[in-house]
Chains A and B, each alone.
Chain A
Amino acid sequence: MEIKYILDIVYLIGSVTFVIGLKMLSHPDTARKGNLYAAFGMTLAIAGTILWYNHPGGYTSREPLKIILILAAIGIGTFAGWLTANKVQMTKMPELVSLFNGMGGACAALIGIMEYEHNIGNTGALATIIAGLIIGSVSFSGSIIAFLKLNETMKKPIRLPSYNILNTAVMIALVAFGAYIVYAQPEHMLLPILLLAAALVYGVLFVIPIGGADMPVVISLLNSFTGLAAAFGGFLYQNQVMLTGGILVGSAGTILTLAMCKAMNRPLSNVIFGAFGAGNASG
């Protein structure tokens, strides 16, 4: 019996719990249980990876130091995450969701930075890495701004002159920059790091013009972005649980974002491009 197959089965169980969890989360009677099922699947996927993951090229090693570091990192994250989630007032929950979403985005961006050098020469893999890097960074900085807005640290929408045109131009430049890196495949890390910085700036520009009342929609949108970033990571590692988990959130998150807009009676384009309340948009 190959160990690889055990991990494959663990990932399969994880993926199924994510689907069932999401399904149950969309009904009031089953929602809480659904969340626990998904959490159970996640625990299995994480434990399985630590125990049984092996790179087909033989790069994987399990020196005690590395295992201790991984467990320590998980310990710190668990302690801080649990404490924050349970101490904060109920009314501050949405901003916490945004904060945790940003952490996931940052995690995806860091994976992109670390994997870049190993994949020079493999255009397909690099495209995946660069896409994950951009989306993860945008999601991180955007979520932090959304957090600060809900927090009321940042009270008024900040609208730079013709911010819609500016933002669109920055977005196009960002995609072109990413495409150039995939094409040129520079060996130096300077350009990928500049790309990361540019994506962080875009995330900020994307969220600062949007009013506080629209933040839940924006968080939901950034949430599906992080899902996509995770899915790109799954693609890179041929890892099914990352792929299904990420894409499920990407697609379900998009539908949810649209549903939230519908509940507010406003199209998504209004939220993003700020057509709402044109009176206070002069600035």
Chain B
Amino acid sequence: MINDIVSFLGQNIEMIYILILSVFVGVEVIGKVPAVLHTPLMSGANAIHGVVIVGAIIVMLNTPVDNILALALGFVAVVLGTLNVIGGFAVTDRMLEMFKKK
């Protein structure tokens, strides 16, 4: 068990570097955000985690074409992921559009 985990970490060490550095980038990048931008920033970040759709597409590409259940689940996952991405970016844009007129 412990061996498995250590070798998993070792095999993924570059991903772990990216992970840790990204944590710091995420913290720094939004450093001093004014309170008026809290909601649009939240909405923009919401759209960005829609990148999970890439995983849903990968699942579908790796599923044998005769596995109907898996394809159906994958289809639902891709629809949900797209809603997250498109809805997220569109809502953010609408919020910021209004922001500009003020």
Write out the residue numbers on chain A whose beta carbons fall within 8 Å of the beta carbon of B18: 240, 243-244, 247
Chain B residue, CB-CB nearest to A110: B77
* Inter-chain contact B86/A19, CB cutoff 8 Å: no
Chain B residue, CB-CB nearest to A18: B48
CB < 8 Å: which of B25, B36, B62, B85 contacts A248? B25
In the complex, whether A175 has a CB less than 8 A from a CB of chain B is no
Residues in B1-30 with C-beta less than 8 Å from chain A: 1, 4-5, 7-9, 11-12, 15, 18-19, 22-27, 29-30
Write out the residue numbers on chain A whose beta carbons fall within 8 Å of the beta carbon of B83: 77, 80-81, 84, 100, 103
In the complex, whether A134 has a CB less than 8 A from a CB of chain B is no
CB < 8 Å: which of A32, A49, A59 contacts B96? A32
* Inter-chain contact B55/A233, CB cutoff 8 Å: yes
Where chain A touches its partner, the secondary structure class is helix
* Inter-chain contact A35/B93, CB cutoff 8 Å: yes
Known: A114-B70, A251-B22, A263-B38. A107 touches B44 (CB 8 A): no
- List 7 contacting pairs A-B, 8 Å CB cutoff, sorted by A: A26-B30, A49-B57, A93-B43, A104-B81, A111-B52, A227-B49, A240-B18
The residues of B with any CB-CB pair to A shorter than 8 Å are 1, 4-5, 7-9, 11-12, 15, 18-19, 22-27, 29-65, 70-71, 73-100
> Besides A32-B100, A251-B24, A253-B42, 9 other CB < 8 A contacts?
A23-B30, A35-B47, A39-B47, A42-B89, A124-B7, A183-B1, A220-B38, A237-B55, A249-B49
